[in-house]
Structure 1
Amino acid sequence: MVSPLSPNDSQRTVTTPDGQGWQTWQEFKSAQQEIILPAGTVAHIPVTIRYIDMGKAQQGTILLMHGIPTWGYLYHEVIPLLVQAGYRVLAPDLLGHGWSDRRDRFDRSFQDQARMITALLSALNLQQVDVVGHDTGGAVALILAIEHRNLVNRLVITNSVCYDRFDDDMLDFGHPLRWKPRPIADLVAALESSLAAGLSNPNRLTPEFRSGIIAPWASEEGKLSLIRNASALNANQTMALVDRHSTISAPTLILWGMDDPWQKSEDGMQLAREIPNAIFQAIEGASHWVQQDVPEQFSDALLEFFNNHFGSQ
């Protein structure tokens, strides 16, 4: 286990392998730290969480949350840009995702993911962060903003599960009797199709992005963990939040890649109407994997919002 560095040390800095970014997903994985959250904080057993923790907190700390079927690597081109702008950046792999604990022994509901995030922030002595959530990570971000509002300085929801719109392919993965007997190659092929369908710019489906996103799932352990993650997708969890969207007090940006075939922009627009003073910002020419489609534009939108909307950090 790598002991977390002092989160209050604003002079602490970690550089990426080439000073700008990671050349391979293996380098990104090697840069992750690891922490064991004790039994009783997240699950009845200790759970291991892997996360990126980089940069100086000169401007604050940003928490980046991915969704299904990705991991922190989704933000590999975004993180260096935010670090260069003076932020400390925390990008964990959610429970059962990426290289965090993938044992078949705990729940992976959105509420349990939120519990993991609050336990992680507590372990790192972080009292407040700017929260960015994508896909199912957006649902987790909404839980944090509603139920743990003191933790959330500013909120960004991007191409997220906000209501009851779930991708049929991901729901299909949640059928154990259908997927457990199938070879890993079938899962890999399905994931490759999903990655391609969620990008507006075909040239952004690079071999490294493809192999990096798929790597955690390309084993029997990974396949089963993805099945369990997909089994946890439940619209009751998100619809139970809708009546409380209006209680969110953090300055909020709804940032949406407009070509998304799964999380339609009308959901983002509706969410922006329901959260007080929220801003909806469209990103044209980008799809679901907006961080990969247009990483510079995505990062610029975050930084502009943070520069213009001061929270309470």
Structure 2
Amino acid sequence: MRKIPIILLVLLVGVLLLFAFNHYDVQSAGDAVAVDPYSPVLRTPDARFVSLNDFTYEPRYVEIRDSDLGALRVHYLDEGPADGQVILLLHGQATWSYSYRKMIPLLTAAGYRVVVPDLIGFGRSDKPADWNAHTYQNQIDWLTATLEALNIRNSTGFLFDWGGYFGLPVAVEHPDIFSQLILVTTIVPRANSILSAVWVAGWRRYTLKQDVFPISSMVSDMTFKDLDADTLKGLDAPYPTESYKGGPRRLPMLIPATMLNPADALNREVWEKLGNWTKPTLTLVSQTIAENSLDPKEFHDQIPGTLGQPHETYPDTGFFLIEDNPEVLAKKTIEFIER
């Protein structure tokens, strides 16, 4: 008889916690972090990008439109033969096109055209002064507009981290952009449990509550190998002050901790549509990450295009595979395309 009250108590605690995280999720999605009331966007000075290690690529720009912010300038790299098959490299939360500096020459040497945009709020792309401009839907819309402006079609999409969070919604709505996908340390985030809500809340506190958000040290802490001073400088280059870090600091707020977050419904729809994705899809992930948080088996069970593909998990690597293993990833990408 004693078991019944205990079970009820556990359920009650669970309901209270879920309510608390629902409230936190909704409040977090709307908390204002205004950093500059006079300018709709910030633009990192070019001087910040001079003499970056192994990064001598020509900066290119395309303009897209936002209904609230107006014109937004998106930075991208476009390397290799103009008529080559396109490999589209998308970066994640604390990275930008710089993080692909070692993969690019290996891919272009194999005859591929490599296109690497910086998401809005990152790298040399414009950065909204109002951090609340970074919504899930806005990032998807900005990425879609960028790829449409660049006329990207039938590309191999290499989607790392948030590159997958935003790239997969683009893929299911605009399948002509991609002929195949490589999913690297990424997920389609949905609110699945109280535990996931707790994890999201902790991540949010880490990124928002610090006076100085340590971009380069965050990456360094999540790589297996030590990053040298030049690499750390490159990672920090886009962000001369904290006001420029709205992208990296705001993104965790977009992860749905509960089903009240609009991104949850959006991502559940994306997940459902991925159940019909038959184009070849490869997953690559650190062994440690696969065992502890981002198990790619979820993709293997959901996406028909993953069937029979040469998926890999890599030992002795951290979250940021693109820093730990760029040569191996480039080789694997080429092998996947040419299989």
How far 1:50 moved relative to its partner? 0.6
Query: Distance between the aligned counterparts of 2:104 and 2:168, measured in 1?
Result: 21
Number of positions where the alignment pairs a residue of Structure 1 with one of Structure 2: 273
Deviations 1:40-92 (A, max 9, x none): 4xx55111101111111554101110010111111110111111111111111
CA contact (8 A) 1:109 1:233 kept: no
Q: CA contact under 8 A between 2:207 and 2:213: conserved in structure 1?
A: no
Contact 2:94 2:248 (C-alpha < 8 Å) held by counterparts: yes
Aligned residue number for residue 288 of structure 2: 259
Q: Residue 25 of structure 1 aligns to a residue in which SS? A: coil
Q: CA deviation at 1:238?
A: 3.6
Give the letter for the 1:215 counterpart: A
Which residue pairs with 2:55 in the alignment? Answer: 28
Q: What is the CA–CA distance in structure 2 between the aligned matches of 1:142 and 1:252, rounded to whole Å?
A: 11
**Are residue 299 (structure 1) and residue 299 (structure 2) matched?**
no
Is residue 161–residue 238 contact of structure 1 (8 Å, CA) maintained in 2? no
Equivalent runs, 1:3-82 vs 2, <5 Å:
24-25=51-52, 28=55, 31-40=58-67, 44-82=69-107
Aligned mate of 1:198, from 222, 227, 239: 222
Instruction: List aligned pairs for 1:275-294, cutoff 5 A.
Output: 275-278=303-306, 279=309, 280-294=311-325
Answer yes or no: is the 8 Å Cα contact 1:173–1:226 preserved in 2.
no
Structure 2 unpaired stretches of 5+? 1-48, 191-195, 258-263
Q: Which of 297, 303, 317 is residue 269 of structure 1 equivalent to?
A: 297
1:259·1:284 contact (CA, 8 Å) conserved in 2? yes
Q: Tell me the equivalent position of 1:234.
A: 256
SS of residue matched to 1:277: helix
Give, in angstroms, the shift of residue 39 of structure 1.
4.1
Residue 231 of structure 1 deviates from its aligned partner by 2.9
- Correspondence for 1:12: none
Query: Could you say which residue in structure 2 is the equivalent of 1:207?
Result: 229
Tell me the TM-score normalised to structure 2 length. Answer: 0.72
Q: Does 1:172 align with 2:201?
A: no
Q: Deviations over 1:203-229 (max 9, x none)?
A: xx1212211112223413223443333
How far the C-alpha of 1:196 sits from its partner, in A, is 2.5
> Which secondary structure state, in structure 2, belongs to the residue aligned with residue 50 of structure 1?
strand
Cα deviation for residue 285 of structure 1 reads: 2.0
How far did residue 29 of structure 1 move? 7.4
TM-score, with length taken from structure 1: 0.77
Determine which structure has the larger helix proportion and give its number. Answer: 2
Q: Within 5 Å, which residues of 2 pair with 1:47-196?
A: 47-105=72-130, 107-164=133-190, 170-173=203-206, 175=208, 178-179=209-210, 182=211, 186-188=212-214, 191-196=215-220
Is the alpha carbon distance of 1:169 and 1:306 closer, same or farther for their aligned partners in structure 2, counting shifts above 3 Å? farther
Runs of 4+ in 1 over 4 A off after TM superposition: 164-170
The 1:135–1:212 alpha-carbon spacing in structure 2 relative to 1, beyond 3 Å, is: same
The root-mean-square deviation of aligned C-alpha atoms, in Å, is 2.8
For residues 134 and 216 of structure 1, do their structure 2 counterparts lie closer, same or farther at Cα, with a shift above 3 Å needed?
same
Deviation at 1:284, TM superposition (A): 2.3
CA separation in 1, counterparts of 2:248 and 2:167?
21
Offset at 1:124?
A: 2.1
Given that 1:146 and 1:247 are in contact with CA atoms closer than 8 Å, whether structure 2 keeps it comes out as: no
Structure 2 CA distance for aligned equivalents of residues 116 and 307 of structure 1: 31
Deviation at 1:240, TM superposition (A): 4.2
Distance 1:167 1:218 in 2: 27
Structure index of larger Rg? 2
Deviations 1:97-138 (Å, cap 9, x if unpaired)? 122111225733343223222222222233332111111111
Worse overlay, 80-89 or 161-170: 161-170
CA distance in 2, matches of 1:206, 1:238: 37
Letter of the structure 2 residue corresponding to residue 296 of structure 1: E
Question: Which deviates the most, 214-223 or 138-147?
Answer: 214-223
Preserved contact between residue 144 and residue 152 of structure 1 (Cα < 8 Å): no
Cα distance in 2 for partners of 1:74, 1:168 equals 27
The amino acid of 1:142's aligned partner reads L
Deviation at 1:301, TM superposition (A): 0.8
In the superposition, relative to structure 1, how do residues 121 and 277 fare at CA in structure 2: closer, same or farther (>3 Å)? closer
Any conservation in 2 of the 1:111–1:143 contact (CA below 8 Å)?
no
Which 10-residue stretch deviates more, 45-54 or 30-39?
30-39
- 2:281 partner amino acid: T
Q: Which moved more, 1:131-140 or 1:43-52?
A: 43-52
Q: Summarize the Cα distance change of 1:151–1:263 in structure 2 as closer, same or farther, 3 Å threshold.
A: farther
